[in-house]
Amino acid sequence: MGDKGVWIIAAVLAAGLAALIALRGVPSAPAPPAAPEAAAPPAPEAPEPPEPPAPAPVTGEMVDKLLYGMTYENVMERFGRESDETETEYEQGTPGYTSPSVTVWHRWDNPDGSAARVGFVNQKLERKVFVDAAGGTSGGTEPELWKDKEFKL
């Protein structure tokens, strides 16, 4: 074997040794144990948003100032809030004189037990009445129609 053969054998052995080291890896010292993570401080609690102020109670004077033909949205803007309760009432009408109609009643309740009732026919204000805490009616043009009605909360 000549010089050339020795060099080939040496090159093959060097390549094999390099491959063996690369595949096996160099042993290293074990990794130090991970330091325990410092407990994150608790997130500060967000302050609760302040409660909106209570809307002003609806008064008989406010009911008196409502105009016939107003929409529910107009009344809601005047009272500053949506109604608390809604109900419908069917009226047959008088044959040959008036046609049947449906009145949609919206009711705004006050903390003292008083309430405003506003009736809409075809989405226009047709009736209105204010009932005080004692059950007495006022406001509107026909409070006497509501004397028999139960308005207790």
For residue range 94-130, list pLDDT tens digits in order: 888 888 889 999 999 999 989 999 999 999 999 999 9
Give the residue with greater pLDDT, 19 vs 62.
Answer: 62
Kindly state the percentage of the chain with pLDDT values over 70: 80
Query: Is the pTM of the predicted complex or chain greater than 0.75?
Result: no
**In this structure, CATH architecture of domain 60-146:** 2-Layer Sandwich (3.30)
| The most confident of 17-31, 38-52, 83-97, by mean pLDDT | 83-97
d(CA 84, CA 134): 19
**Residue 3 scores a pLDDT above 80:** no
Task: Give residue 40's pLDDT.
Answer: 67
* Burial readout 24-60 (b: 16 or more C-beta within 10 A, e: otherwise): eeeeeeeeeeeeeeeeeeeeeeeeeeeeeeeeebbbb
